[in-house]
Structure 1
């Protein structure tokens, strides 16, 4: 996996990010999750064009640790991650999105 970057990338609950790009040459990005409520189930999803011969992955990170929770559900041209938040006092969750190695960028649509 390439170097992860957290450059102000934020996913707000109920808001969709459009025209996000992620390098398909082992590119990755960490998104800070905002406006999460405690003890609530969430789904993070990325969608990409069918013409891109690539595989995307999502992983939940709790604080500075990678979570063992990896409830990914694969659909055609979509990658989903389903998770439940802990106590509100300890919510510091992030999502790591990364792509398999290819040589061009792709537009992604992300939402929580």
Structure 2
């Protein structure tokens, strides 16, 4: 007789940590003092949050082959909501990255931008 096992909570933990870290970077970017933090924030969201959602989907689908596997659809639902929220933070980071690149283009006289 097998032992029941359920879907992993690790994708949700990774997604929440990425979203919180990205939000903190977005809020405290002025205090951090470096524009490249926006690149880190964009790497965290939406990229990590979407990858965590995929990780959960793959894990839950693979687990369905095991008759003792317990599907946890609420984890997937929460991760999809987090992925949607992460896109909003991703837009903030993209906006700041574009401002940084535009300012650098004007300041350093990049060809095609001057």
TM-score range, shorter chain: under 0.3
TM-score, scaled relative to structure 1: 0.24
Instruction: Between the two structures, name the one with larger relative contact order (CA 8 Å, sep ≥ 6).
Output: 1
- Name the structure with the higher strand share: 1
Which is greater in Rg?
2
